[in-house]
Structure 1
Amino acid sequence: MDNSIPVVSKIFCSGTPTMLMIRRRPIVVNGGGFVVTDLSHNVVFVVDGCGILGSKGEIMVKDGEGEPILFISKKRCGNSFLFQLPFTIGRLALKEENNRDCTIVDCTRKIVAQMGRKELIGGKDFYHVEVQSGYDQAFIIGVVAILDNIHGESTRC
């Protein structure tokens, strides 16, 4: 029986836990955003933010081939900001309010993904995300992109 929980697409769900590496792109040089690779250094996702899209509060997640798969936009809602997504996140727990050290859990408190700093090499910021089996990796990268934007990181201008 297939226990995959696709949000973006079933093709982004794996039957085993998957470790993804994230490398931020400098806003000044590459327009910001970040690149997501597997442990073999194959590009799995690319996330573009304001520096490339040209609009504040817009984030695009692309697959490894560069095809857009998820568009996230920031909408003004009263005095606060709300990211409008076509799905429900469930719960999101942040440790120390740092978007590179968090756990994403579903509504039953089961861990969906865990993220943390991996290493600092040559001034480039690397961190990892381990997505549990059956969960949509593209969706998780979308959540990571939202956290990146909220914390004023590489997807934000």
Structure 2
Amino acid sequence: MFKVLSTRDQSMAPKPGGGMMMPIVSKVYCSPDEVVCAVRRRPNVPNGGGFVVADCGQRVVFKVDGCGILGKKEKMILKDGEGNDLLLVRRKASIIEALSITRQWKGFTRDFLGSDKLVFTLKEPNSCFSNNTPIRISAESTEFGTYRNLEIMGDFQRRSCTIVNSDGDVIAQIGVKEEVEQVMSSRDLYHVRIKAGIDQAFVFGMIAVLDYIYDGSTRC
């Protein structure tokens, strides 16, 4: 189980079946209804190419460019379906981090002045195979000025995990349909079910980092 820890007002927690919008990147990506998206590794590209995200109508809604496309390790960009940049995700090593037991990933958006704005920080253990050290995410909401408290439970490597908030409410589920497992690897195609009101761009920003940590399609 991965723990995503932060400090936030517990009253802001979304409830099953709908409720308050919880924007991290933008409320544009907070649907009033639950959505199910398919994540597919990009075909016919070098290692580190990234992946695409499609809705139930097979329309591409997000793209992730991996370090093979960007030409720099430990860096990814989340884009919308039309190719507009939404999130820059990168890990920047520092002397302080070198002395720490964790590594930090940061996700940035661009404000109207063109400046990078930090929206989340993900702290992962130096050994991604450690079962005892949690992965931590501080996700800032520009809408409410609060931080979110999440846990990722399960096994992302097998594409079988659930993201829950501090109240135990499920906000997203990652899985593989049985018929898909029979014809292709779960690393190549899996689905993500995201509850109403949850920022989908933020969810796929987290998934991009997990994909990189576990040697997925974004990693060189």
Give TM-score, length-normalised by structure 1: 0.89
Instruction: After the TM superposition, list the runs of 4 or more consecutive aligned residues in structure 1 that deviate by more than 4 angstroms.
Output: 26-31, 120-124
Measured against aligned partners, the alpha-carbon deviations of 1:61-89 in whole angstroms (never above 9, x if no partner) come to 00011000011111222254211232324
Do the aligned partners of residues 30 and 42 (structure 1) sit closer, same or farther apart at CA in structure 2, a change above 3 Å counting?
farther
Question: Where do 1:1-20 residues align within 5 Å?
Answer: 3-20=20-37
Do the aligned partners of residues 57 and 27 (structure 1) sit closer, same or farther apart at CA in structure 2, a change above 3 Å counting?
farther
1:26 Cα shift?
4.6
Equivalents in 2 of 1:95, 1:31: separation in Å? 24
Identify the match of residue 143 of structure 1 among 206, 211, 216.
206
1:99 Cα shift?
5.9
1:48 alignment partner AA: D
Rg comparison, structure with higher value: 2
Equivalents in 2 of 1:99, 1:9: separation in Å? 29
- In the other structure, the counterpart of 2:194 is 131
8 Å Cα contact 2:61-2:80 kept in structure 1: yes
1:14 Cα shift?
0.5
1:106 Cα shift?
1.7
1:75 alignment partner AA: K
- In the other structure, the counterpart of 2:80 is 63
Over aligned residue pairs, what C-alpha RMSD do you find? 2.1
Give TM-score, length-normalised by structure 2: 0.65
Measured against aligned partners, the alpha-carbon deviations of 1:115-137 in whole angstroms (never above 9, x if no partner) come to 01231546782100000000000
Equivalents in 2 of 1:116, 1:65: separation in Å? 26
3-state DSSP class of the match of 1:139?
helix
Identify the match of residue 109 of structure 1 among 154, 168, 189.
168
Identity over aligned residues, as a percent?
42
Is 1:82 aligned to residue 145 of structure 2? no
- In the other structure, the counterpart of 2:145 is none
- In the other structure, the counterpart of 2:7 is none
Q: Which structure 2 segments of 5+ residues have no match? A: 1-18, 108-118, 121-137, 140-148
Equivalents in 2 of 1:117, 1:131: separation in Å? 14
3-state DSSP class of the match of 1:134?
coil
Provide the aligned length of Structure 1 versus Structure 2.
156
Q: Which structure 1 segments of 5+ residues have no match? A: none
**Worse overlay, 45-54 or 18-27:** 18-27
- In the other structure, the counterpart of 1:95 is 154
- In the other structure, the counterpart of 1:45 is 62
